[in-house]
């Protein structure tokens, strides 16, 4: 599958979680918490894959998109900080819904800009074959990508590729530990 199709599928999956969150009230804390946790996890992986694979390829091969890519990196920066704050807060927190609403607004704006201004230009410039090659790299990297936000991690190559692998490995261990504790706790 080509990279743009994969990244758009990620966008749709995150949007599904946003709609699940928005369709509930403050009383449905478990549903809201689940939708927020899933969205944060998906966004952590998606932003890492874009920053480690897609954006560097676009920067090298379509340099005229430099300003748009910098804007995307800054949008990711804001999203990662919001995700980190959401991850460390509870649905019982007075600011939880406000933070989630701000995350939703920021991600929707970024997705709208990326799908309207970046993806069509990249598709035209790179062509299907190259986008499939990049898509294969994205698919191979996905299992090793971070599953939690790391807002202080570098977001540009080559350092982000190394820190992304380390963060992904750390997140795998963290996730296994959380699942184990969940199974052991009555």
Burial class, 92, CB count within 10 angstroms (exposed 0-12 / middle 13-18 / buried 19+): exposed
Q: What is the pLDDT of residue 185?
A: 63
Q: What is the pLDDT of residue 143?
A: 95
Q: What is the pLDDT of residue 164?
A: 62
Q: What is the pLDDT of residue 178?
A: 72
Give the dihedral of Cα atoms 144, 12, 108, 64; nearest 10 deg.
70
Q: What is the pLDDT of residue 153?
A: 67
Cα–Cα distance, 172 to 45 (Å, whole number): 12
* Domain map (residue ranges) of the chain: 3-184
Q: What is the pLDDT of residue 26?
A: 78
Tokens of 126: 């790179």
Low-confidence ranges of the chain (pLDDT < 70): 153-155, 157-175, 177, 179-186
Cα–Cα distance, 24 to 47 (Å, whole number): 26
Q: Which CATH architecture has domain 3-184?
A: Up-down Bundle (1.20)
Q: What is the pLDDT of residue 160?
A: 67
For the entire predicted model, the pTM comes to 0.88
Q: pLDDT digit string (tens) for 89-120?
A: 999 999 999 999 999 999 999 999 999 999 99
């Amino acid at each position: 599958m080509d990279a743009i199709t994969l990244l758009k599928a990620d966008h749709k999956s995150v949007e599904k979680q946003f709609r699940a969150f928005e369709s509930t009230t403050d009383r449905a804390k478990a549903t809201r918490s689940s939708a927020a946790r899933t969205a944060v996890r998906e966004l952590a992986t998606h932003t890492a894959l874009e920053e480690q694979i897609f954006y560097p390829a676009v920067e090298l091969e379509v340099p005229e998109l430099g300003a748009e890519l910098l804007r995307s990196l800054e949008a990711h920066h804001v999203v990662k900080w919001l995700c980190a704050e959401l991850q460390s807060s509870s649905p019982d927190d007075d600011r939880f819904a406000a933070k989630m609403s701000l995350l939703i607004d920021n991600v929707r704006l970024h997705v709208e800009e990326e799908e309207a201004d970046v993806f069509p230009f990249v598709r035209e410039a790179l062509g299907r074959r190259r986008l499939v090659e990049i898509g294969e790299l994205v698919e191979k990297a996905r299992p090793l990508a971070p599953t939690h936000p790391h807002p202080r991690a570098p977001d540009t190559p080559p350092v982000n590729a190394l820190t992304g692998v380390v963060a992904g490995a750390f997140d795998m261990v963290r996730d296994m530990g959380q699942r184990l504790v969940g199974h052991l706790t009555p």
